């Protein structure tokens, strides 16, 4: 499927989709979206890039092994749960902090941190499967 049009458009499409996935991830708590959907979008972005331009450019662009990203996500998700231990509340209790930034207030929470962890697990796992399947012995 390495047509000229597809492989020219794919990098732009991929970057747009990745940005969109982060947008979906961050808006998730109040509007449709979230880590799982965001992760799926990013994973399909990388899968498309791989189909269009081959696997090695994707691996170079990702820099880390996708499974490493998934592991990182699981770690972040776990830490988000464990943090509550230091505040004397049960595991995985949401903790919120409101940080003033540029005159506005930004809500930070362990819930968001956990959602980011979900995002990375989904991106990492599915991208590694997709890339492994896209790889040809000749690559």
Partner 1 sequence: MDSVTPSTTFLVLLLPFFAALFAPLLTRVFKHNAAWILALVPAVMVWHFAGFLGEIADSEVVTGGYRWIPAFNVNFSWYLDGLSLTFALLICGIGTLIVLYSGGYLKGHEHLGRFFSFILMFMGSMLGLVVSDSFLMFFVFWELTSITSFLLIGFDHKREASRRAALQALVVTGGGGLFLLAGLLMIWNITGISEMSLLLRSGDILVNSPFYIAVFVLVLGGAFTKSAQFPLHFWLPNAMEAPTPVSAYLHSATMVKAGVYLLMRLNPVLGDTVAWETVLPIFGGTTLIVGTLLAIRQTDLKLMLAYTTVSSLGLLVMLTGFGSEKAVSAAVMYLVAHSLFKGALFMVAGIIDHEAGTRDVTRLGGLMSVMPITFGAAIASAISMAGLPPFFGFLAKEEIYYGLAHPGFWPVLLTVVAIVGNGLMFVIGFAVALKPFLGPKKPELQHAHEGPVLLWLGPATLAVFSLLTALFSGVSHRFITNPMSSAVEGEPLNVTISLIPHIGLPLLLSAVTIGFGIIAYRNVDRLRAAMANLLAAIGWGPDQGFDQFIRGLVRGSFHLTRLTQPGRLDLYMKATFILVAVCIIVPMVYFDELPAFPQWPSDPPFYELIIMAIAAIGLLSVLYAENRLTAIVSLGIQGFAVALLFMLFGAPDLSFTQFMVETLSVVILALVMTRLRLTPTDRRPMGRTILDLSIAVACGIGFVLLLLSVTQLPFDSTLSEFFTRYSLSIAHGANIVNVILVDFRGTDTWGEIAVVMVAGLAILSLIRIRARSNHAIASNDPSEEEGR
Binding residues vs partner 1 (CB under 8 A): 28-37, 40-41, 43-44, 47-48, 51, 67, 70-71, 73-74, 77-78, 81, 91-92, 94, 96, 107, 109, 111, 114-115, 117-118, 121-122, 124-126, 128-130, 132-135, 137
Nearer to partner 1, 8 or 98 (CB): 98
- In whole angstroms, how close is the CB of 120 to partner 1 at the nearest point? 9
- In whole angstroms, how close is the CB of 60 to partner 1 at the nearest point? 19
- In whole angstroms, how close is the CB of 82 to partner 1 at the nearest point? 10
- Rounded distance, CA 20 to CA 94, Å? 26
Contact in structure between 18 and 42 (CB atoms under 8 Å)? yes
Token output for 110: 């362990």
- In whole angstroms, how close is the CB of 5 to partner 1 at the nearest point? 18
Nearer to partner 1, 7 or 109 (CB): 109
* Contacts for 28 with CB less than 8 Å, ≥ 6 apart: 34, 35, 37, 38, 115
Q: Coil, strand or helix: which one is 106? A: strand
112: closest CA among 38, 52, 34, 5? 34
């Amino acid at each position: 499927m390495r047509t000229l049009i597809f492989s020219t458009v794919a990098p732009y499409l991929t970057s747009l989709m990745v940005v969109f996935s982060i947008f979906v991830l961050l808006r998730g708590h109040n509007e449709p979206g979230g880590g799982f959907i965001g992760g799926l979008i990013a994973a399909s972005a990388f899968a498309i890039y791989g189909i269009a331009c081959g696997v090695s450019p994707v691996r170079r662009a990702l820099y880390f092994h996708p499974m490493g990203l998934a592991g990182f996500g699981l770690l972040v998700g776990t830490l988000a749960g464990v943090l509550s231990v230091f505040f004397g509340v049960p595991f995985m209790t949401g903790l919120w902090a409101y940080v003033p930034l540029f005159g506005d207030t930004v809500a930070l929470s362990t819930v968001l941190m956990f959602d980011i962890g979900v995002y990375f697990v989904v991106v990492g796992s599915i991208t590694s499967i997709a890339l492994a399947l896209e790889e040809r012995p000749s690559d």
